[in-house]
């Protein structure tokens, strides 16, 4: 399953106008094989009824605390819990979960923003309301791109993320010839798979279809990213530079925007 920080590629948004938060590039996401036990099996073993009508949000709290001694916390709606494979993970890529990734146990909520995949898991609450923690109520939300001072109460917390792709090779300011090999990743939230990645060397004037290196996954539960590769001719501008861009399309035919201005977000 792939985990992506809500701030992934925030540096690209900052090219339009200032943003709040770390200026992440394309590396604030990763893909791993997680091992553990399904939360639904743990609840069943503990004789907890996860079908109770009062259970509307799965709240999770970690052992880490902020400067006011409040533990990190977040939540997902019950429909996400019931439709995804929520895991209590204690292994990562066949090894014990590393400390930096949440040892001894963390939550893996595939298809959902990384902020809800709580590390150093201490508590699980089957609640009527969503988490009241700062990172659920006052952070990681989306707003109008012209809103520089948004009201966080006006928007729901981010859960499933939109379709995404990025170029990993070549890196910016690399020297290119008349033909270039581009490589990268693509992913979409909510278990939606990737059906196509388009690439361009002239800023999106002309497009080519990349080859997808897909892993076997069930439709609706395509939690892992798709790597892609394309060898295309290079179209250079008058200043001798090539403008490389990519955009992905998921199984619901959601299309990744090919520019950042219209989707700028403060945080």
Q: What is the mean pLDDT of residues 48-55?
A: 92
Token pair recorded at residue 15: 């090219």
pLDDT score at 259? 87
Please provide residue 22's backbone torsions phi and psi, each rounded to the nearest 5 degrees: -65, 140
What percent of the chain shows pLDDT beyond 90?
A: 88
pLDDT digits (tens, 9 = 90+) for 133-188: 999 999 999 999 999 999 999 999 999 999 999 999 999 888 888 899 999 999 99
Q: Select, from the ranges 169-173, 202-206, 248-252, the one with the highest average predicted confidence (pLDDT).
A: 248-252
Q: What is the mean pLDDT of residues 200-206?
A: 93
pLDDT score at 62? 98
| Angle made by CA atoms 72, 24, 257, in degrees to the nearest 5 | 110
Token pair recorded at residue 244: 């490389």
What's CA 8's distance to the chain center, in Å?
A: 8
Q: How far apart are CA 156 and CA 128, in angstroms?
A: 16
Q: pTM, whole model, 2 decimals? A: 0.93
Count of positions (residues) in the chain = 267
Task: Report the chain's mean pLDDT, rounded to a whole number.
Answer: 94
Q: Check pLDDT > 80 for residue 232.
A: yes
Least confident interval from 4-8, 112-116, 187-191, 234-238: 234-238
Token pair recorded at residue 225: 């990213």
How would residue 238 be classed by pLDDT, with cut points 50, 70 and 90? low
How would residue 241 be classed by pLDDT, with cut points 50, 70 and 90? confident
Q: What is the mean pLDDT of residues 12-41?
A: 94
How would residue 235 be classed by pLDDT, with cut points 50, 70 and 90? confident
pLDDT score at 122? 97
Q: How far apart are CA 216 and CA 12, in angstroms?
A: 31
pLDDT score at 134? 94
């Amino acid at each position: 399953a792939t985990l992506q920080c809500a701030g992934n590629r925030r540096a690209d948004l900052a090219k339009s106008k200032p943003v709040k938060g770390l200026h992440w590039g394309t590396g604030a996401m990763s893909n791993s094989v997680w091992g553990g036990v399904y939360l639904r099996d743990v609840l069943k073993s503990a004789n907890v009824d996860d079908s109770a009508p009062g259970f509307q949000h799965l709240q999770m709290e970690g052992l880490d605390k902020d400067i006011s001694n409040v533990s990190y916390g977040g939540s997902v709606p019950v429909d996400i819990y019931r439709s995804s494979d929520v895991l209590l993970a204690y292994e990562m890529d066949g090894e014990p979960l590393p400390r930096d990734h949440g040892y001894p146990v963390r939550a893996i909520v595939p298809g959902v923003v990384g902020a809800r995949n709580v590390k150093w898991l201490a508590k699980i609450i089957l609640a009527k309301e969503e988490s009241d923690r700062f990172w659920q109520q006052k952070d990681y939300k989306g707003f109008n791109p012209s809103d520089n001072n948004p009201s966080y109460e006006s928007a729901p917390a981010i859960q499933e993320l939109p379709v995404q792709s990025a170029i990993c090779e070549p890196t910016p300011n690399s020297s290119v010839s008349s033909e270039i090999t581009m490589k990268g990743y693509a992913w979409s939230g909510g278990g939606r798979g990737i059906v196509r990645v388009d690439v361009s060397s002239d800023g999106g004037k002309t497009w080519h279809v990349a080859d997808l290196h897909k892993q076997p996954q069930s439709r609706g539960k395509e939690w892992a990213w798709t790597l892609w590769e394309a060898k295309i001719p290079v179209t250079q501008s008058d200043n001798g530079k090539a403008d490389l861009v990519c955009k992905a399309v998921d199984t619901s035919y959601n299309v990744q925007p090919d520019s950042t201005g219209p989707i700028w977000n403060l945080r």
